[in-house]
Chains A and B, each alone.
Chain A
Amino acid sequence: MAHCVTAPTSCPASGGGGLGWSAEPDLVAEEIACRRGERLVFTGLSFRLSAGDALVLTGANGSGKTSLLRLLATMIAPAAGRLRWGDVPIEVDIQAYRRRLLYVGHQDGVKPGLTPRETMAFWITLRSSEGAGEAPVLDAALAAFALDAVADWPCRWLSAGQRRRLALARLVATQAPVWLLDEPTSALDAENQMRLERIIAEHRASGGRVVVASHTTIGIDDAALLALDTFAPTFGDAATIGV
C-alpha cells in the first residue's frame, strides 16, 4: 500500500490491495465546454487521465481552473461534451463516479467549533457507507500532515496553514482513485508542501490520478500541463454551443 504515509498497519483496508487503482479505467474528457452565467469559460477541452497520471492546470485568473475542477467533481454540468469513466459516461452511475473522487476545494470546510479530530471523523463518515472511520485511519491521516499535536484543539485556534493541512489530510483518510485539488499549496509552508508532494507521488505510484490547479510551482514529476488559456472560446464557438 504505497499510498499510505505512516506505518502499513494503520493503512485503511479499502484501497484495492497492492495494485492500488492501476486496474481502474481512464477518466476521459471529450470536447467539454464550461459556461458560467452568460460567459463561455473554455471549450473543446479533451484529455485522458490514466492510472498514475497527473494533470496540472495552468492559466490566468478566470481562465477556468476552478470551473474545470468543479465540473470534474460533478458540481457544474458541462455546457457541451462529456466525461467518461472508461467507456461509460459518468451520468450512468453518478454516485459510483463521485465515490471515485476526492475533491479539496478552495475552502477548507473547517468549522471553528469542532476539533480537527471531530472534523476528520465527520468527513470519514460522510465518505463511507459502512461505518468506517476507525481511530487508526483517523490518527494516520492527522499524523500525515503533523496535526496530531493540535488534534483536540478547537479549529478556531488553528492557523490558515493548519486548516489547509486538515483539509488535505482527507486525502490520506479516505480512499479514492481521482484527486481533484484546487490550489492545494495555498498557505502551506515548504515542509508541508513537500509532505503533500510526497503523498501525491505515493498516490500516483499506486495507480491514483491527480488533477491540480496551482499558481505556485508544485513538484509533481512528469505531470501533463494543461494551459486553460488556450481553450478560451473564439467568436465562433459561442454560436455552436448556443450561448
Chain B
Amino acid sequence: MTGFTGLFRRDLRLALRQGGDTGLVLGFFVLAVVLFPLGVGPEPAILQRIGAGIVWVAALLAALLSLDRLFEADHRDGDLELLALSELPLELAVLAKCAAHWVVTGLPLALVSPLLALFVDLEPAAIPTLFLSLLIGTPALSLIGSVAAALTLGARRQGVVLSILVLPLYVPPLVFGAGAVEVSATGSGERANLLILAALTLAALACSPWASAAALRQALD
C-alpha cells in the first residue's frame, strides 16, 4: 500500500503544484454552462427543462479535457517503465492515478455544480441531487476515461482519438446522472437513478484498472 499512497500523493502534489488541470477543467465547465442561457435565451421554462442535461454534458466534456494528460507525462519521461517494474501492480497504479485525477477534476466539478445550477435555473429541490449525482458519477468518468487514455497513449492527435473513444462510453453515466436530476425536479424517483449510477461507478472501478493496465503494458512493449 505504500506504493499506492505514494503514487496518489505524488500525482496530487504534481497537479496542485502545476495547478493547470483543476483550473482548466473548472473554467471550461463554468464557461460551457454559462454559454447555454446566452444561446437559448433567458426563457426559464426552457432552461429548467434542459438544465440538468446541460450541466451533466458540460461536466463530461470538462472531465474529457484533462484525460489525455493522465498517463502522458509518465509515458514520456519514463516513469511508466518504473511503475511497470515496481512492487505496485500496474492495476493498482492505474487506480491510484485515477483517484488523484478524480480529486483534482471530478470532485471540483461536483463542488461547483450547485452554483451552476443557479445559472440554468434548476429547481432548488433538484440541486442536492445534481451535486450527489456528480459526486457519484464523476469517479466513473475518470475510471472509464483511463482506459481510453491508456489505449491512445502515444497516438497522434491523442485528444481527438480519445474523445471519439470515450464519449460513447460516457453515455450510461450521462443518462442516469441527468435522469436523476430531472426526476428529482418533478418529485421523487431519483433514488433508482442514483443507485444505477453508483452501480456503473462500481462496475467501472472493478473493470477499468485491468483494461487500463493491459493497455499500458501494450504501450510499453
Question: Which residues of A come within 8 Å of B, CB atoms?
Answer: 73-77, 95, 98-99, 101, 103, 105-111, 113-114, 118, 121-123, 125-131
Contact = CB atoms under 8 A, between A and B. Distances in A.
Measured as residues with beta carbon below 8 angstroms from the partner, the interface class of chain B is: 20 to 34
B191 interface: no
Given A75-B220, A129-B2, A131-B2, A109 B82 contact: yes
A70 to B, nearest CB: 8
B43 interface: no
B188 to A, nearest CB: 47
B10 A118 contact: yes
A126 B14 contact: no
A89 B210 CA distance: 25
B2 A122 contact: no
Given A114-B14, A123-B82, 7 more contacts: A76-B221, A98-B85, A113-B17, A114-B13, A114-B17, A122-B10, A126-B7
Given A105-B78, A126-B7, A113 B18 contact: yes
B92 to A, nearest CB: 11
User: Of B77, B78, B84, B85, which is in contact with the most chain A CB atoms at under 10 Å from its CB?
Assistant: B85
Contacts of A77: 221
Nearest to A110: B77
B34 interface: no
Contacts of B6: 121-122, 125-126
A157 B195 CA distance: 49
Contact of B77 (A95, A98, A107): A107
Contacts of A95: 87
Given A75-B220, A126-B88, A111 B73 contact: yes
Interface of B: 2-3, 6-7, 10, 13-14, 17-18, 73, 76-79, 81-88, 220-221
Given A73-B85, A118-B13, A126-B87, A108 B3 contact: no
Given A75-B220, A118-B10, A126 B84 contact: no
Contacts of B86: 98, 126-127
B11 to A, nearest CB: 10
B42 to A, nearest CB: 43
B204 to A, nearest CB: 25
User: Of A95, A106, A113, which is in contact with the most chain B CB atoms at under 10 Å from its CB?
Assistant: A113
A107 B78 contact: yes
A109 B17 contact: no
Contacts of B79: 109, 111
A98 B3 CA distance: 15
Given A114-B13, A118-B13, A126 B73 contact: no
A166 B7 CA distance: 18
Contacts of A110: 77
B77 A108 contact: yes
B66 to A, nearest CB: 15
Nearest to A124: B6
Given A76-B221, A118-B13, A129-B2, A109 B18 contact: no
Nearest to B220: A75
Contacts of A127: 86-87
Contacts of B87: 95, 99, 126-129
